[in-house]
Amino acid sequence: MMLRTTYLGANGWWLAFGDLTVLVDPWLTGDLVFPPGPWLLRGRLLEPCPLPGPPDLLLLTQGLPDHCHPPSLQLLDRRLPVVGSTSAVTQVRRLGFTAVTALRPGEVHRHRDLEITATAGAAVPVVENGYLLDHPCGHLYLEPHGFLAEDLPARRLDAVITPVVDLGLPLAGAFVKGRQVLPRLLERFDPLTVLASTAGGEVQFDGLLSRVFRQEGSVQEAAATVAACRSGECRLLDPVPGTAYTPATR
């Protein structure tokens, strides 16, 4: 029994806590379009993303289409248990999912041996969720925009799933703050593994906003930050989509 993680590209993850499988924020097929339309921003998935199998649980951090992607969710069994932010739950109920649990930051839900604690995540514009996931096979934190609640207590974790670069727009600033949050995550959680997320996968963007995106930081810079962490035990993984990894556990 061990923790296994598979990156699905963009914000998507497949987490296996022993025989319990959790699908996170999947974008599996079709275009990704943000309101008011593709002229503003459209993402194109170059290849469909197959799942390793049927998930036991769907976990959603946000209700925005890059986390709660309707064409992808329509591929799933509507009886699949879902845990998500309040905005995400509104979306999946519209799609016909029936076993749905909404969590606000600070609330806890248990699914089999997995304890899910919602934490305050990005305000886009409402405050969405990050999650602490605790299971006998491993303990991890995930949040897709690089936000860390100040009131979240320090504790030692096995793994952290986070962006490691900043993404933003001129004047508006960064809406993904992975570069900024990484040192704080290392200090707060002393993880054995950092898994880079959010900015990877076979994806192309077009539309007005795609021309002015700015990125600050790099995986190489993040690796140097991780190597200099206090414990010296942490490693950074820049995961290849579709490849399963087994993070170290304490």
Domains held by the chain: number: 1
Segment 62-91 shows an average pLDDT of 96
Determine the pLDDT at residue 230. 66
Give the pLDDT band of residue 171 (cuts 50, 70, 90): low
Instruction: Please say if the pLDDT value at position 250 is more than 90.
Output: no
> Is 225 inside any structural domain?
yes
Strand arrangement of the beta sheet that strand 193-196 belongs to: 108-111, 114-123, 127-135, 138-142, 159-162, 193-196, 235-237
Instruction: Please say if the pLDDT value at position 175 is more than 90.
Output: no
For the domain that residue 40 is a member of, what is the CATH number?
Answer: 3.60.15.10
> Is 38 inside any structural domain?
yes
> Is 198 inside any structural domain?
yes
- Among 3-7, 29-33, 215-219, name the one with the lowest average pLDDT: 29-33
Spatial separation of the C-alpha atoms in residues 117 and 119, rounded to whole Å: 6
> Is 250 inside any structural domain?
no
What integer best gives the mean pLDDT of the chain? Answer: 92
> Is 178 inside any structural domain?
yes
Determine the pLDDT at residue 212. 67
> Is 102 inside any structural domain?
yes
Spatial separation of the C-alpha atoms in residues 61 and 89, rounded to whole Å: 10
Determine the pLDDT at residue 36. 76
Q: Domain residues for 91?
A: 3-245
Spatial separation of the C-alpha atoms in residues 163 and 142, rounded to whole Å: 9
> Is 108 inside any structural domain?
yes
| DSSP letters spanning the chain | --EEEEEEETTEEEEEETTEEEEES---SS-EE-TT-TTT-EEEESS----SS--SEEEES-SSTTTS-HHHHTTS-TTS-EEE-HHHHHHHHHTT--SEEE--TT-EEEETTEEEEEEEEEESSSEEEEEEEEETTEEEEE-TTS---TTSPP---SEEEE--SEEEETTTEEEEEHHHHHHHHHHHH--SEEEE-SS-SSEEEESGGGGT-EEE--HHHHHHHHHTSSSS--EEE-PPTT-EE-----
